Structure 1
Amino acid sequence: MDDAWTTTTNARGVGGRALAETIANARRGYNPCGEYELDVRGMKIAAIENLSVARDQYDCYDMTGNEIVRVENFPPMKRMQTLMLGDNRIARVRGEELGRAAPRLRNLTLMNNSLRNLGDLDELGAIKKLTHLSLSGNPVCAKENYRLYVIYKCKALKTLDFCKVKAAERELAEKMFGKDDGAAARAKTFTPGDGLDDAKEKEPEEEAKPSGPSPEQLLALKAKIAQAETLEEIARLENALKTGVVPADFAI
């Protein structure tokens, strides 16, 4: 396979930047997956730039082992299917920009970087055809419900950190995080005064119903849902959140 690779010089990124000459002289060839790959591994690149020099000729771009901090500045790359960015210093991924620039991107490697919070992963959901994602080695992997959160955000994902995404995980992720979207939608469509006429027609004993959980109880309910270990417990707590009737055994 090595015979299929070509390189002209051992050019390096000058001053920590991916200069056009660096890309033009990079090693290229077919990788074991049969993808035509541009290899700019370990060239001390600090910023993604000048990729237009590659003229969208490659299926795979290997930028492993550089000093990249942000995933951004991608030109239109309609051919790219695989992007390897492991062992960098990445703390920000502009997924919406990447999703627009590379609509066929399905494999993304971000192992051993500096992504710390679940919110840092939100834009990955904008990469619509992303099926294989690797994030192991990032601080965010230690966050509670990390795996379910990523599965919820990335709807097409088939493997995460080299483990298959199971249907049960997808269902649980939707139950755990999809409720927030539903609550937001209900809040946006609520109109003050709705239902007042219906309330007047109700029986007196119905008007005496409790006003619902306190703000402290609502926060506690949401926290309990996030910590629940069984689908039954999640369903019970979600029903309490929806109906406003707090279980008798519930305590903050």
Structure 2
Amino acid sequence: MVRLTADLIWKSPHFFNAIKERELDLRGNKIAVIENLGATEDQFDTIDLSDNEIVKLENFPFLNRLGTLLINNNRITRINPNLGEFLPKLHTLILTNNRLVNLVEIDPLSSLPKLQMLSLLDNNVTKKPNYRLYVIHKLKGLRLLDFKKVKQKERIEAQNMFATKEAEDEAKKVPVKTFTPGEVQDVPDNTKTEKPPRVVAPTPEQITAIKAAIVNSQTLEEVARLEQALKSGQIPAEFNVPGNDTEMSTVQENDDKMDTDDKNDVDDAPNQEG
């Protein structure tokens, strides 16, 4: 992490850009916190803080000259609600590829009285329902949003959609339920309604009956159906014996009974000899 010191500011490139504005280039310095910008002595029209590690858009001194702030490719999650008090003439703000998530995080930008161009591309907030209309509603003077012109019909639609405070609050609501490690998520349980049929092994008698039916089949389709039944273990309905669903458990019970009877026979053997 690199501190934004006065020394760094004056050692960084500063020049007249393509539109003849005086620009300070602070790109790619791994700056995490905005500080010491008073050292600029308000001599710049544009400040470029792109490609750093800034988390909060705050801590600006009063910069009456600054009109353009480029701060894309950072980690911004929070904006000072009083930002406009310190940057009264800021008209262009590029926040592309940051970490703004909810519409409520956009509200502080309404403190910027001169803001006309804003980019929030590649922030998750752009995926929120009615994102564009909400931003247009909050920032009345905006002319370009995400490099697209704000149209008059969008302004009217935004005004109608957010005519009441209740509608605005509803749009800003953050879902209460969030994922926590180890928590079982609510997912549709299809296993209760879509369980595959339980396969019950065919009995020797059923296998014999199916084989006999194959020999006596009149069509190839019937032969294929019965052969598939043998392979899959799925017994065609005509070969089911009533109560077959419990057949396996009955067989197991009989096996257990036979084991018990055998054991009793062994235990009773000495008595029989006596």
Partner residue, 1:74: 60
- How many residues get paired? 171
Task: Indicate which of 119, 122, 127 corresponds to 1:137.
Answer: 122
CA deviations over 1:100-138 (Å, ceiling 9, x no partner): 111110000000000000011011111111000000000
Task: Indicate which of 32, 36, 40 corresponds to 1:50.
Answer: 36
- Matched-pair contact (CA < 8 Å) for 2:133–2:155: yes
Task: Indicate which of 114, 133, 142 corresponds to 2:99.
Answer: 114
Structure with higher Rg: it is: 2
- Matched-pair contact (CA < 8 Å) for 1:152–1:170: yes
Task: Indicate which of 11, 16, 24 corresponds to 1:30.
Answer: 16
Q: Identity, % of aligned pairs?
A: 46
Per-residue deviation, 1:97: 2.5
- Aligned positions of 1:1-252 closer than 5 A: 15-94=1-80, 96-180=81-165
Per-residue deviation, 1:176: 0.8
Inter-partner Cα distance in structure 1 for 2:2 and 2:77: 17
SS of 1:29's partner is strand
Inter-partner Cα distance in structure 2 for 1:28 and 1:69: 24
Q: What is the one-letter code of the residue matched to 1:133?
A: L
- Matched-pair contact (CA < 8 Å) for 1:74–1:97: no
SS of 2:23's partner is strand
Q: What is the one-letter code of the residue matched to 2:165?
A: D
Per-residue deviation, 1:182: 9.6
Per-residue deviation, 1:178: 2.3
TM-score in terms of structure 2 length: 0.60
Q: What is the one-letter code of the residue matched to 2:5?
A: L
Q: What is the one-letter code of the residue matched to 1:26?
A: S
SS of 2:82's partner is helix
Q: CA 1:183 to 1:75, structure 2 compared with 1: closer, same or farther past 3 Å?
A: closer
Inter-partner Cα distance in structure 2 for 1:97 and 1:183: 20
Per-residue deviation, 1:85: 0.4
Per-residue deviation, 1:27: 0.4
TM-score in terms of structure 1 length: 0.65
Q: What is the one-letter code of the residue matched to 1:21?
A: D
- Matched-pair contact (CA < 8 Å) for 2:28–2:51: yes
CA RMSD of aligned residues (A): 1.8
Per-residue deviation, 1:31: 1.1
Q: What is the one-letter code of the residue matched to 2:149?
A: K
Inter-partner Cα distance in structure 2 for 1:166 and 1:83: 24
- Matched-pair contact (CA < 8 Å) for 1:78–1:104: yes
SS of 2:83's partner is helix
Per-residue deviation, 1:24: 1.6
Unaligned 5+ segments in structure 2 are 172-274
